Structure 1
Amino acid sequence: MKRRDFLAAVACGTGVLAGCSTNSGPVRDPSPTPEPTPPPGVNTLTEEKPLPTPDAVSDETAARSFVETHERRYVYNELVDGFGTTQPATDITVESTDAAVVYTTDEGYYLLSTCRGSAQYYDPDGSPRGAGRNAASVAHFVGSDIHRRIPFNAYRCAEPIVTDSGEGDEDRSSARFQIYDFETPPNYDQPDQGGHEVTVRVSDAIGEVVLDRDYQTSLPLTVQPKVTPTTGEYSLSVSTTDGGQVQHDWSLSGAIDPTWWALTVLITHSGDVTVQTLYPNEMVGLPSTSLCTRMG
């Protein structure tokens, strides 16, 4: 597929001070005045916590416990880093992780998780400086000594099929699906190379082809927005150049049904292909909106 057929989407998953920003700010003086350090009486948090390894994961309970611990420490460490702030954290709060197993194979377990945290940072002027982190709808594979983590905040956007729905909510007005690749390590330096070539074909109830496209999974997550605005029964067939093949009946009843936005082509850690709806509950399920329509 040509480069122009894809858009890159990166969601800002952190809120620092007034919120997310892509503005790099003014050019700093080459010799800036050093910011004052906290006095000895101020407690600061500067040490990251070690991330666990899945060496004792033997069942769903152990896999879920591993992800819960991993995500709490992951979010804590990001708050320690401070997202570019020059002052250390003085207080960090991380909520309990919500996690759910969504698919199981002989090799391990696939889960979704959400974990939130917040921090306060030292300010010599005494003004409140805070940051929040919401690691929502993160997908995981956990096997024996193996862990793959794919967050829903950086992905490749495929060109939409429906170009103009005529409705206000452009993202939810049409159904979407996504492709996760848990076998291929991401290569962000060469995002058009590597991975699997995946062919997806969607047909409606009378056999009319709605979508017929090839996707390259050199990035671990691809989102296909705006497939169809029409409810009904559809057939989705998936094949890979490695010989994987699967067919799935896709029933679309409307934008309040998770099948409208959470249908997922899943390339497993062993390279097999399955189709799942990744929405076990509203706490960890895939979000009903994405950045893809906004960037189209």
Structure 2
Amino acid sequence: MLAGCATRERDSRSPVSTSQPTPPPDVTTFTETKPLPEPSDVSSRAVAQSFVETYEQRYVYNELVGGFGSSGVAAKITVEPARVAVVHTTDSGYYVLSSCRGSARYFDPDGSPSSATRNASSVAHFVSDELHRRIPFNAYRCERPVVQTATANNSDEPLARLQIYDFETKPDYEDFEQGGRTVDVTVRNADEEVILEQAYQTSLPLTVQPAVTETPGSYTLAASLTDGPTVQYEWDLSTPGTPSWWALCLVITAGGTLAIKLWYPNEEVGVPSNGVCRH
């Protein structure tokens, strides 16, 4: 099942062309997009953060210039400073989470200007000297819930959930059923009972497994790529309502290895706690 706000990311450098009314000369308009930066000499966490800040602000700006294909020409655009946090560092580069919000007002010859907002939240990045991968949290494969009780389906509280990010495979939103890596995942409870055993295909760069369990306690997660070593993680779910319930991430790095991380440095940029894989 594919879920999220969109199934395809539109290139923010190529806004949709629409028929728009021409504003009078005294109305300031914004019609040109800004070039998105390319990584170069990413030698520190600070450089990686700065790159992502600039990238996301321009990305959101360009989205608002484009108007999402339904608005007139932009007469005012405001983009807030991007919030970023480095969540994982390797010898080859940096993994960064970001959120950036912007708004725009569009010219209307009838005197009733329309407006739009763009909230690029919980976006995951890999940045190195030569590579930038961007994985938004608005197009993902939603797997079938493990727990399917009435309580789980109607709960406003986040059940235990995990995410699988693939930074190695270049995404193809035109054909999202092909490609990617196979990740074998097994989760056991404290009594060594298997509560989840599944192979996931990362043909989309983000896969979400909702409702792994609704029972607090200690769990062991083991994951591996095909022909790769097994990585284990002690998954502490003893305290409901804490980030471990929703922010656990299995990360296929840009170099093709597997890591397990809790990606919730703060509420502003961390993996969202709810509203994911609603059925």
Shared topology, TM-score over 0.5?
yes
1:139 aligns with 2:141: no
1:119 aligns with 2:115: no
Give the CA deviation at 1:259. Answer: 0.4
Q: Structure 2 unaligned segments of length 5 or more: list them.
A: 8-18
Q: What is the root-mean-square deviation in Å for CA atoms of aligned residues?
A: 1.6
1:108 aligns with 2:102: no
Match of 1:150 in 2: 135
Match of 1:192 in 2: 177
Of residues 247, 250, 271, the one that matches 2:256 is 271
How many angstroms apart in 2 are the aligned matches of 1:88 and 1:211? 50
Give the CA deviation at 1:56. Answer: 2.3
Q: Structure 1 unaligned segments of length 5 or more: list them.
A: 1-6, 14-33
1:66 aligns with 2:51: yes
266-275 or 169-178: which moved more? Answer: 169-178
Match of 1:18 in 2: none
User: Deviations along 1:147-169, whole A, 9 cap, x unmatched?
Assistant: 00000000001110001142575
Match of 2:2 in 1: 8
| Count of aligned pairs between the two proteins | 268
User: Deviations along 1:203-227, whole A, 9 cap, x unmatched?
Assistant: 0001000000000001100000000
Give the CA deviation at 1:41. Answer: 1.4
How many angstroms apart in 2 are the aligned matches of 1:80 and 1:96? 17
What one-letter code is carried by the residue in structure 2 that aligns with 1:113?
A: S
2:158–2:241 contact (8 Å) kept in structure 1: no
Equivalent residue runs for 1:171-182 within 5 Å: 172-182=157-167
1:171–1:290 contact (8 Å) kept in structure 2: no
1:287 aligns with 2:277: no
Q: Which runs of 4+ in 1 moved over 3 A?
A: 167-173
How many angstroms apart in 2 are the aligned matches of 1:228 and 1:172? 12
How many angstroms apart in 1 are the aligned matches of 2:21 and 2:251? 50
Give the CA deviation at 1:189. Answer: 2.9
Q: Percent identity?
A: 56
Q: What secondary structure sits across from 2:52 in the alignment?
A: helix
How many angstroms apart in 2 are the aligned matches of 1:78 and 1:70? 12
Q: TM-score, normalised by structure 1?
A: 0.87
User: Deviations along 1:231-278, whole A, 9 cap, x unmatched?
Assistant: 100000001114142000000034420000000000000000010001
